[in-house]
Structures are given as C-alpha cells and as structure tokens.
Amino acid sequence: MEWIELIKTLITAMASVFVALITAGYFRKMQDKNKEKKTREGLMVQIQKDELVHFTLREIRRKYNSDRIYVIQFHNGGTFYTQSPMQKATVTYERCSDGLEKMSEKFQNILVSHHTWYMSEIIGNRLYYTDINEQMSDLPTKSWLKNYGNFAHVGVPIYDNSKNLIAVVCMSWVFSDIPTTLYNDEGFLDSFKIQYSNDSNSLKPYLV
C-alpha cells in the first residue's frame, strides 16, 4: 500500500504546484505573451503588405506620368437608428508628387452616399476623363476633384474573388502632362484603360 500513498502524495504535490502557478498568474502571463507575439507577427505582415502597396502605386504613377494615385477601401461605419449599416469609404494608400495636398488626410470615414455618382462611374468603368472641366457632368464631383488641382482623372474598381467591390484605385494629373500615347481627341484609349486596370488589379492580393 506504500506505493498508493506515494502516488497520493505526488498528486497532492502537483496539484499544489498547479494552484500556485494559477495564483501567480503564470498561465495568464503565458497567454498574454502568446497574444503579444501574434500581434507583433500580424503587424509585421501588415507592414510588409503596406510597403508592397506603396511601391506598386509609386511605379504605376511613374509609368503614366501622373501626379497622384490613391486607393479607396470600403468599410462598415456603424449603424443608423434603423439598424441599417452605414457604408463608408476611406483613402488608405496614396502616392503623390511633391507639394501636393494629400487626399488621404481628409478623405476618412466618408459616407459612400455622398459620392454615389463618382462610385457609379467607377463601377461602370466610365471614370476616364482627360479634361474634368469640359467632360465631367456632375458638378459636386467636378468641384471636389478640382479642389485638389486635378485636371484629368481615372478610376477602376477592385473586386474580390466573390465579385464584391472592395476598393477603387484612382489616378490624377495636376501639373504633369498626360503622355500622348494614352489618349486621342476622343479621350483615353482603350489600350490604356486595359493596362491601367491590370496594373491596379495587381494590388488585389494585398487588399483582400
């Protein structure tokens, strides 16, 4: 029977150690450390994605000699009293020429309902304007874009694999000339529209 007493003693001792560890917060501290590690790892992954997005935007802007390029992403911005969701949009990434005011500093948590014409043009693949002042019919959008100095503007939609609109990539010319290979008297060429759409959609893996 001595071995039974020995086992009881060992179990009692282990239980005491376990209780002591819990009391000392050992397991909570271990959980906190694991959470902190996962947070750091997630942050590093996000930083790497952000760097790739900024690098790609810079290269696209240089390719087309534009002055500003930015990404608008959509998100839930809370709910109305009716419990219907507020659909909002935010400029999350932007690259622009030196001296230009950044749209990303002001275009944050904007109700999508304030820019329905603009979004409709993008979704319909119609947002290609070589001359905003002469060609754009919507006065609020025209005023908004001209307020940032834009004279020409384009934008394309980005969809996820389920065909949900997740972002738009927009590009503007302020004081740089549009390369003559991109347009004619009727507007931007279809070849440019295809190229720009393909370039913009290369960002999709980092936005979903």
CB 183 within 8 A of CB 177: no
Mark residue 149 as left, alpha or beta (left: phi above 0; alpha: psi -120 to 50; beta: remaining).
left
Give the CA-trace dihedral at 43, 79, 145, 169, to 10 degrees.
40
Q: What is the pLDDT of residue 106?
A: 85
Percent of the chain with pLDDT over 90: 56
How far is the C-alpha of 66 from the C-alpha of 61, rounded, in Å? 5
- Show Cβ contacts of residue 96 under 8 Å, excluding neighbours closer than 6 positions: 61, 67, 68, 69, 70, 102
Going by pLDDT thresholds of 50, 70 and 90, the confidence category of residue 17 is low
pLDDT tens profile 85-142: 678 888 999 999 998 988 888 888 788 888 899 999 999 999 999 999 999 999 999 9
Give the residue among 70, 71, 54 at the shortest CA–CA distance from 166.
71
The CA-atom distances, in angstroms, between 156 and each of 21, 27, 54, 92 are 57, 50, 17, 16
**What is the pLDDT averaged over residues 39-43?**
65
Going by pLDDT thresholds of 50, 70 and 90, the confidence category of residue 173 is very high
Q: Name the least confident of 21-35, 112-126, 182-196.
A: 21-35
- Show Cβ contacts of residue 143 under 8 Å, excluding neighbours closer than 6 positions: none
Give the residue among 203, 128, 131, 207 at the shortest CA–CA distance from 171.
128
Domain boundaries, the chain: 56-207
Give the residue among 89, 187, 168 at the shortest CA–CA distance from 121.
168
Examine the pLDDT at 188 and tell me if it is beyond 90. yes
Q: What is the CATH number of domain 56-207?
A: 3.30.450.40
Going by pLDDT thresholds of 50, 70 and 90, the confidence category of residue 1 is low
